[in-house]
């Protein structure tokens, strides 16, 4: 008999750890930028509706699969129906792809935090600073190694003493820091126009792509379709309310995304004199535009340091969930000892991450469809594998094991209030929507259709 499975101590530990996974770079950098692009208030509204229906149902399903079987993705699908363990295998590939490149970006965040803390804000705000930094062969790899080394260290301490403890400290600090920066940003001269731009619905920008973009963002933001919530569910105690926990995680994730918009959009607006184009800089927004914005603010190096610290916490708790998922899949499958697995996963990710990092410099000529190594990994995991896994999971739950198998698990602690909605979404609504996301994101990436 293998050793007893670790567990989160209770609801708070579980919710904070799962929210730690959900709240990440996606909330802080990607959400505000999408909201600004797709009509402000209207995007927010669509996103919130999708989060409490679609996101809720999928997250309940994944956590219930994990808790019911007590296993990580591959074992969980196998335990429910042997013929379908391939869904678990596909789901497991996703965190293996994401972990290395997510940590490369985590390394950039760490570097910017250090720059702002040690008084180099002016330097970080200079034109070309970011491009020069990421193209260097060694320095980004050093920061990446620091970030992933820290991730591995926390995962090594285990579910309760590592992940739960760190989440209980970092997540509340993250909320306080986010509120602080958001309030500061909103009250800067010229910032109110940005607040209005962010919150006022622009109905003319509403279209089917708004819904698709919101749904794509939702998946990534709630860490769905990559085995993470299955793994975390397998560490959840049976006497904790699953439905209530999912509601809390969802609120946490959406509130931080919303506040991130209030931090970023008004400050960029104030800085650029109301020029919306400054928001549409894609990945450059966080590393190119924001450092300039902070540098121009009174007290900006402190605000910048606080901002990059909160982004660092958000990214770290997410990378922890990615690594834990990979480690848990390997230990469940091979019965290797946890420490050895951690070391192997760490080394494997360092190798892959180095390739991603070099893709911005010496290997920048390695590309496919015009994408760098990092973009390619991102495309493969987010635009292809995740929708496929989500679709297969819905079909599996809706028609093979049937939603009742999971709603019974959810009802262990009492009535499942959203049971009807859960059934309908999993069986019909989610599969149709996911097929649409899949088609549009592939067309988008191949440049055939622009979302
Ligand atoms: N949910 C995280 C975010 O919003 C992203 C993430 C994806 C984290 C996958 C872990 C795993 O940034």
Closest CA to 20 of 324, 225, 447, 418: 324
Quote the pLDDT of residue 335. Answer: 86
Q: How far apart are CA 225 and CA 65, in angstroms?
A: 12
How close is the Cα of 222 to the center of ligand 1, in Å? 7
pLDDT of 120 reads 92
Question: How far does the centroid of ligand 1 lie from the alpha carbon of residue 224, in Å?
Answer: 9
Write down the pLDDT at residue 278: 76
Which residue has the CA at smallest separation from atom 6 of ligand 1? 223
Distance CA 77, CA 230 (A): 10
pLDDT for res 18: 96
Closest among 323, 116, 295, 368 to 108, alpha carbons compared: 116
Residues of the chain with pLDDT under 50: 1, 450-451
Q: Shortest CA distance to 290 belongs to which of 273, 276, 272? A: 272
Query: What are the backbone dihedrals phi and psi of residue 385, each rounded to the nearest 5 degrees, phi first?
Result: -65, -45
pLDDT at 118: 95
Residue-by-residue DSSP string for 210-273: HHHHHHHHHHHHTT-SSSHHHHHHHTS-TTS-HHHHHHHHHHHHHHHHHHHHHHHHHHHHHHHT
Pick the closest to residue 420 from 140, 120, 56 (CA basis): 56
Is any ligand 1 atom within 6 A of the Cβ of residue 359? no
Distance CA 250, CA 43 (A): 17
| pLDDT value at residue 347 | 96
The per-residue pLDDT for range 297-346, each reduced to its tens digit, is: 888 899 999 999 999 999 999 999 999 999 999 999 898 999 999 999 99
Does 21 sit in the ligand 1 pocket, CB within 6 Å?
Answer: yes
**β-sheet bridge partners, residue 238:** none
Answer for the pair 431, 395: CB distance below 8 angstroms, yes or no.
Answer: yes
Q: Is the CB of 26 under 6 A from ligand 1?
A: yes
CA distance 13 to 26: 22
**Distance in angstroms (rounded) separating the CA atoms of residues 140 and 348:** 17
Long-range contacts of 357-360 (CB under 8 A, 24+ apart): 357/104, 357/107, 357/134, 357/140, 357/141, 357/144, 358/137, 358/141, 360/134, 360/135, 360/140
Q: Please indicate whether residue 325, judged by its CB atom, sits closer than 6 Å to ligand 1.
A: no
- Ligand 1 pocket member 223 (CB < 6 A): yes
- pLDDT value, residue 188: 85
């Amino acid at each position: 008999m293998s050793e007893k499975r670790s567990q989160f101590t209770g609801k708070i530990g579980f919710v904070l750890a799962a929210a730690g996974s959900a709240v990440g770079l996606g909330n802080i950098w990607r959400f505000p930028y999408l909201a600004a692009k797709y009509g402000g208030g209207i995007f927010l509204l669509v996103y919130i509706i999708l989060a409490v229906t679609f996101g809720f149902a999928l997250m309940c399903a994944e956590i219930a699969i994990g808790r019911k079987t007590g296993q990580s993705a591959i074992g969980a699908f196998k335990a429910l129906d042997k013929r379908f363990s391939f869904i678990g295998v596909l789901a497991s590939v996703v965190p293996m792809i994401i972990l290395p490149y997510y940590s490369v970006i985590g390394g950039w965040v760490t570097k910017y935090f250090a720059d702002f803390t040690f008084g180099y804000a002016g330097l970080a705000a200079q034109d070309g600073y970011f491009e020069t930094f990421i193209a260097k062969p060694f320095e980004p790899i050093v920061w990446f190694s620091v970030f992933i080394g820290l991730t591995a260290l926390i995962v090594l301490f285990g579910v309760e003493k590592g992940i739960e403890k760190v989440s209980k400290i970092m997540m509340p600090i993250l909320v306080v820091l986010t509120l602080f920066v958001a309030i500061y940003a909103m009250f800067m001269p010229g910032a109110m126009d940005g607040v209005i731009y962010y919150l006022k619905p622009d109905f003319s920008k509403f279209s089917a792509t708004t819904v698709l973009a919101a749904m794509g963002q939702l998946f990534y933001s709630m860490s769905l379709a990559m085995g993470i919530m299955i793994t975390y569910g397998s560490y959840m105690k049976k006497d904790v309310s699953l439905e209530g926990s999912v509601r809390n995680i969802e609120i946490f994730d959406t509130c931080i995304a919303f506040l991130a918009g209030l931090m970023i959009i008004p400050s960029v607006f104030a800085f650029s004199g109301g020029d919306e184009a400054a928001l549409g800089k894609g990945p450059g927004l966080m590393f190119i535009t924001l450092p300039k914005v902070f540098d121009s603010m009174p007290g900006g190096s402190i605000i910048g340091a606080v901002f990059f610290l909160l982004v660092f916490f958000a990214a770290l708790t997410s990378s922890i969930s990615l690594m834990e998922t990979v480690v848990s899949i390997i230990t469940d499958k091979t019965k290797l000892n946890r420490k050895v697995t951690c070391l192997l996963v760490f080394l494997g990710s360092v190798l892959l991450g180095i390739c991603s990092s070099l893709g911005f410099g010496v290997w920048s000529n390695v590309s496919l469809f015009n994408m760098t190594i990092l973009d390619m990994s991102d495309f493969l995991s987010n635009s292809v594998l995740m929708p496929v896994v989500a679709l297969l999971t819905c079909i599996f739950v809706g028609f093979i094991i049937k939603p009742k198998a999971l709603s019974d698990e959810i009802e262990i602690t009492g009535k499942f209030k959203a049971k009807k909605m859960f059934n309908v979404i999993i069986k019909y609504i989610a599969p149709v929507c996911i097929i649409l996301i899949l088609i549009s994101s592939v067309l988008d990436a191949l440049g055939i259709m622009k979302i």
